[in-house]
Amino acid sequence: MLRFIVLFGFAYFFMKLHATGDISKYINMKYSFLSFSMIFVMFFLMIYQLVKWVRAGNKEEHHVHHGHSHEQDENTWYKKVFTYGLILIPVVTGIFLPVATLNSTVVKAKGFHFSMIDNDKDQYANHQILRPNSSLYYDKNQYVEMENSDLKQYRNLSHITLDDNHYFHGLETIYNYPGNFIGKKVTIKGFVYRTDDIKDNQLFVLRFGIIHCIADAGVYGMLVDFPDHMKNKLKENTWIQVSGTLSTTYYDAFKENIPYLTVTDYQKIPEPKDPYVYRQYN
């Protein structure tokens, strides 16, 4: 019966995630069919465990009537409680606790570095910062082909809008070929993040992006520069949309030339229903 309860809990948890749309806060929706199919697998296993439990109960009753009952090991119950208790923890917390959204607090906690947070060669363990780098997920020829295709798509645009569908590809192209986009207008939205080594009128506009699942989430975006007459006191985690002219600057903390926007227009916006962006594959 305990196995039935555990399976029911997991099935309900996955159903809840899909019904509320919160599944997008855990995985790239490209893979949502996998978690959705697990609901049916668990339902089948639930039925199997229920039938098995009923049959076991009938057999035990039959043995009792024929004088063949056996004393249960007195140590078994607490072993079961401990084992199933550990299994139920993620189910109970997942169902009853609200889904937390990654924000600037997480960026500060992990440390803000231009390269990978850790130099792990495992592509699924890397957490990218500021600049998307999808070369990890393609062989060399495929990546070059994708780069050329994206460059052709974006360099002829006078105004590049990095919305949900273009955030990864557009941002990566700008970082890879900034010289092709100097002077162009770019619009980007995200949450405000500041570091101690930037000017008072500068900030980073960032969004968390998911490659496969929340475990490999990185934070991506741009440095933006507000003109003196547009200086603002935007607090961290405030969501804004900014438009500006693209330039490049040497950012000493990263030892890299990075693109940045000289802001011509900005506005505060509510946090999107889905604050994350997802890697789209060609």
pLDDT in tens, 43-83: 888 888 888 877 776 665 555 555 544 444 555 767 777 77
Looking at 94-98, 219-223, 244-248, which range is the least confident one? 94-98
The average confidence (pLDDT) of the chain is 79
Segment 119-126 shows an average pLDDT of 48
Q: Is residue 131 scored above 60 in pLDDT? A: yes
| Spatial CA neighbour of 201 closest among 169, 179, 219, 224 | 224
User: Would you place residue 24 in the very low, low, confident or very high pLDDT band (cuts 50, 70, 90)?
Assistant: low
pLDDT at 117: 40
Separation CA 266–CA 212 (nearest Å): 31
| Spatial CA neighbour of 197 closest among 155, 280, 258 | 258
157-201 tens-digit pLDDT: 999 999 999 999 999 999 999 999 999 999 999 999 988 888 888
Q: Is residue 1 scored above 50 in pLDDT? A: yes
pLDDT at 127: 62
Q: Is residue 228 scored above 50 in pLDDT? A: yes
User: Would you place residue 19 in the very low, low, confident or very high pLDDT band (cuts 50, 70, 90)?
Assistant: confident
pLDDT at 241: 96
pLDDT at 114: 47
User: Would you place residue 111 in the very low, low, confident or very high pLDDT band (cuts 50, 70, 90)?
Assistant: low
User: Would you place residue 138 in the very low, low, confident or very high pLDDT band (cuts 50, 70, 90)?
Assistant: confident
Separation in Å, CA 91 to CA 13, 94, 101, 141, 155: 7, 5, 19, 43, 47
User: Would you place residue 101 in the very low, low, confident or very high pLDDT band (cuts 50, 70, 90)?
Assistant: low
| Spatial CA neighbour of 153 closest among 136, 165, 137 | 165
| Residue 251 or residue 263, greater confidence | 263
DSSP 166-220: THHHHHHHHHH-GGGTTT-EEEEEEEEE--TTS-TTEEEEEEEEESSBGGG-EEE
Who's near 48: CB < 8 A, 6+ residues apart? none
| Residue 189 or residue 18, greater confidence | 189
Strand intervals (E) in the chain: 129-130, 159-162, 185-193, 202-210, 218-225, 239-251, 256-268, 277-278
Backbone phi, then psi, for 93, in 5-degree steps?
-65, -40
The radius of gyration of the chain from alpha carbons, rounded to an integer in Å, stands at: 26
Segment 137-163 shows an average pLDDT of 91
Separation CA 210–CA 133 (nearest Å): 12
Residues paired with residue 219 on neighbouring β-strands, in sequence order: 129, 208
Residues paired with residue 259 on neighbouring β-strands, in sequence order: 248
Query: Angle 76-96/2-20 helices, nearest 10 degrees?
Result: 10
Domains (range + CATH), the chain = 2-96 (no CATH), 104-278 (2.40.50.140)
Q: Is residue 121 scored above 60 in pLDDT? A: no
Contact predicate 130/257, CB 8 Å: no
Separation CA 224–CA 243 (nearest Å): 9
DSSP 48-59: HHHHHHHHHHHH
